[in-house]
Structure 1
Amino acid sequence: MGTSLLGKAALVTGASKGIGRAIALGLAAQGAHVIAVARASDDLATLDDELGARGETWAEDASGDGFLERIATLSKLDILVNNLGTNRPKPLVEVSDDDLDVMLDLNLRSLYRITRASVPLMYEGAAIVNISSQMGHVGSPGRTVYCMTKHGVEGLTKALAVELAPQGIRVNSVAPTFIETPMTKPMLADPKFAEFVKNSIPLGKVGCVEDVAEAVIYLSSSASKMVTGHSLLVDGGWTAQ
């Protein structure tokens, strides 16, 4: 069994740039028809051009009700990639209620609602892949809310895997280490922080977006047909220590 996704319909949230963009393009390259979702932007427009006939873009706020209503118009869905998320790293005592609410909503609540809206369109052989983080397996200073939400994603992944198994729907997560993206660029621009990150990764380097996309392709394909409830760590060995 290979990783061909020919004829599959895939929905990817947070798709305009970074990891989500790489996932959308990677799934399309394997033959899936990709619906790439993000708020309207130049990045989303250029992604639409890159996808061409292999997919389409939806300019939607993926945390809003309008997006859920649009999902319901689809006839079927074979692959759901929940990539929506954000981070506001701060010490505990500096985290505002707004910081807390934004991260809880984007990283966990929206993922839950999108999945709930998508499952009725999924059948035996379908796959859900949640983009989690190595921080869903460990703790880290200045990332209390992020770690909390990503641990929640990992728990939800396991619970959904058990609940949806009788329907033949597999549910897994991909948990990356620090990946070079627009979101992490400001953090990694700090030489002290960049050194800390690289010293914490046994392979001695941060990941690239394609590393995550390839893991998603595997978990979306028949190559992983007996894999469910699993978190695939793409972390260069960070959590093995």
Structure 2
Amino acid sequence: MTSPPLRTAVVTGASRGLGRALTEQLTHDGWRVVVDARHPDDLTFDSARVTVVAGDVADPGHRRRLAEVVDGLGGLDLLVNNASRLGPSPQPHLTDYPLDVLTDVLAVNVIAPLALVQALRPFLHDGARVIDVSSDAAVEAMDGWGGYGASKAALDHLTAVLAVEEPQLRVYAVDPGDMRTAMHQAAFPGEDITDRPLPETVVPALAPLIAGELPSGRYRAVDLVVTS
């Protein structure tokens, strides 16, 4: 009997945190995963199902290379836009926010995910999933989080419009909640964040988005854990 074809995913920002934990779970579940991050030395995985394409998702040449790899693999079933830029640490008030840094945050957190969808759209199978990793900062006005929060709010809206325009796909924004990651530590320099959950504990909440029948929309990981 012929084996079913391998499902293929792209996970950006996969060198650490949620991206790495999700990649490890996907390969465990039989997926073939194309991963990227800016630092190739951090992109080491034990599974032969992982294809490493090191680079910056904000770089058009890198996105073209990802598209070429996906084309060679026969198409795509899942795109996870996980790569993000926090911005300054500690987080400044908006009146003090360096505008050149804000431009970089928006380029990585807003423009790059859309640009990657555009680059990979010809290879997304009908029914494929697009998951954009958002934040509670996208919907809450929190002191010091104006730059990052604005970028994630814009990403949320792009995700919602993409869902309307591409009904043959399932398009999700997901707020994973606070996690014990290097980025979260950078957001709270000098503070003890060991009370935050590890990214590995959040990954199971993404399963309904990856393989379930939930409609396109914005979800919180904490709610998916409760309802899945």
TM range (shorter): 0.7 to 0.9
1:65 to 60, 63, 66: 60
Find the aligned partners of 2:110 and 2:220 in 1 and give their Cα distance: 19
Q: Which aligned segments of 4 or more residues in structure 1 are displaced greater than 6 angstroms? A: none
Find the aligned partners of 1:33 and 1:226 in 2 and give their Cα distance: 23
1:104 offset after TM fit, Å? 0.6
- Does 2:132 correspond to 1:146? no
Assess if the C-alpha contact under 8 Å between 2:180 and 2:196 holds in 1. Answer: yes
1:31 offset after TM fit, Å? 1.2
Gap runs ≥5 in structure 2: 224-228
Find the aligned partners of 2:138 and 2:59 in 1 and give their Cα distance: 25
1:189 offset after TM fit, Å? 5.4
Normalised TM-score (structure 2): 0.85
Match of 1:156 in 2: 158
- Does 2:197 correspond to 1:210? no
Match of 1:123 in 2: 125
Residues 215/29 of structure 1: CA separation in 2 closer, same or farther (3 Å cut): same
Assess if the C-alpha contact under 8 Å between 1:6 and 1:30 holds in 2. Answer: no
Find the aligned partners of 1:211 and 1:90 in 2 and give their Cα distance: 30
1:6 offset after TM fit, Å? 7.2
Find the aligned partners of 2:78 and 2:25 in 1 and give their Cα distance: 13
Assess if the C-alpha contact under 8 Å between 2:53 and 2:66 holds in 1. Answer: no
Residues 232/226 of structure 1: CA separation in 2 closer, same or farther (3 Å cut): closer
Assess if the C-alpha contact under 8 Å between 1:124 and 1:169 holds in 2. Answer: yes
Match of 2:219 in 1: 232
Assess if the C-alpha contact under 8 Å between 2:130 and 2:172 holds in 1. Answer: yes
Give the partner amino acid of 2:56.
D
Find the aligned partners of 1:152 and 1:8 in 2 and give their Cα distance: 30
CA RMSD of aligned residues (A): 2.2
Match of 1:42 in 2: 41
- Is the partner of 2:53 in helix, strand or coil? strand
Give the partner amino acid of 1:216.
L
Indicate the structure whose relative CO is greater, using CA pairs within 8 Å and at least 6 residues apart.
1
1:225 offset after TM fit, Å? 2.1
Identity %: 30
Normalised TM-score (structure 1): 0.81
Find the aligned partners of 1:189 and 1:101 in 2 and give their Cα distance: 23
Find the aligned partners of 1:76 and 1:131 in 2 and give their Cα distance: 22
